[in-house]
């Protein structure tokens, strides 16, 4: 029987953070993408090697438990970060699933506060087109390459910063 991995470093989720954002921050600490770390954790737990990505809307509790155990965190705390839990009764069509638009000013505020950049839960709401804090449009395209925004987190000066995967 294989013993599930325990990660020595795992940042705690922010109050308004998406589950997938937290997972990206954990994985980035190890120079990996979330799916790579998911496959590693699933393999260490003796589970299926065909691990899949976590869904922010209704995450698979088995996968959440796997991450929770590896990161020494209560799985219920992670489940409460799901969009279905945060917005009960909301039709799933009102939650963005493909691309998460972002507020660049929020990322700048993260830098100014000396914390990792992260994706906020309200950015996944279909009706949210302006950041309520900074009053700026949420962007779903990279300002540099104009492609659909696909963020990756990388370590810079000891903190995680967002980067476009395309450019």
Give how many domains the chain has, as a whole number. Answer: 1
- Hey, is 19 helix, strand or coil? helix
Q: Where are the beta strands (DSSP E) in the chain?
A: 151-156, 159-164
| Cα–Cα distance for residue pair 137/3, rounded to 1 Å | 46
Q: What are phi and psi of 126, to 5 degrees?
A: -60, -35
Q: What is the pLDDT of residue 4?
A: 59
**Is 77 part of a structural domain of the chain?**
yes
The answer to whether residue 8 sits within a structural domain is no
pLDDT at 43 over 80: no
| 8 A C-beta contact, residue 13 and residue 54 | no
- Whether residue 1 is predicted with pLDDT greater than 50 in this model: the reply is no
Distance CA 129, CA 87 (A): 18
Give yes or no for a contact between 20 and 35, defined as CB atoms under 8 angstroms apart: no
Give a yes or no: residue 10 inside a domain.
Answer: no
Which pLDDT band, with edges at 50, 70 and 90, does 49 fall under? very low
Asked, for residue 111, whether it belongs to a domain, the answer is yes
User: Is 124 part of any domain?
Assistant: yes
Q: Is residue 99 part of a domain?
A: yes
Is residue 12 domain-resident?
A: no
Host domain of residue 154: 19-164
CA nearest to 122, candidates 28, 15, 11? 15
Question: In this predicted model, which residue has the larger pLDDT, 95 or 8?
Answer: 8
Residue 5 lies in a domain: no
Mean pLDDT of 109-133: 94
81 pLDDT higher than 70: yes
Q: Is the dihedral of CA 58, 105, 34, 68 positive or negative?
A: negative
Would you call 131 helix, strand, or coil by DSSP? coil
Mean pLDDT of 81-92: 88
Sign of the C-alpha dihedral, residues 112, 113, 116, 122?
A: negative
């Amino acid at each position: 029987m294989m013993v599930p991995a325990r990660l020595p470093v795992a940042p705690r989720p922010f109050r308004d953070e998406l589950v997938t954002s937290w997972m990206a921050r954990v994985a980035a600490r190890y120079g990996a993408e979330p799916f790579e770390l998911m496959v590693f954790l699933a393999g260490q737990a003796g589970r299926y090697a065909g691990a899949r990505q976590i869904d922010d809307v209704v995450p698979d509790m088995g996968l959440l438990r796997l991450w929770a155990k590896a990161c020494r965190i209560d799985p219920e705390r992670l489940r409460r970060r799901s969009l279905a839990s945060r917005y009960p009764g909301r039709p799933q069509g009102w939650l963005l699933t493909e691309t998460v638009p972002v507020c660049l000013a929020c990322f700048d505020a993260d830098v100014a506060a000396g914390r990792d950049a992260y994706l906020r839960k309200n950015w996944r709401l279909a009706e949210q087109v302006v950041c309520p804090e900074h009053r700026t449009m949420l962007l779903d395209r990279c300002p540099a390459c104009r492609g659909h925004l696909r963020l990756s987190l990388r370590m810079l000066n000891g903190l995680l910063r967002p980067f476009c995967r395309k450019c």
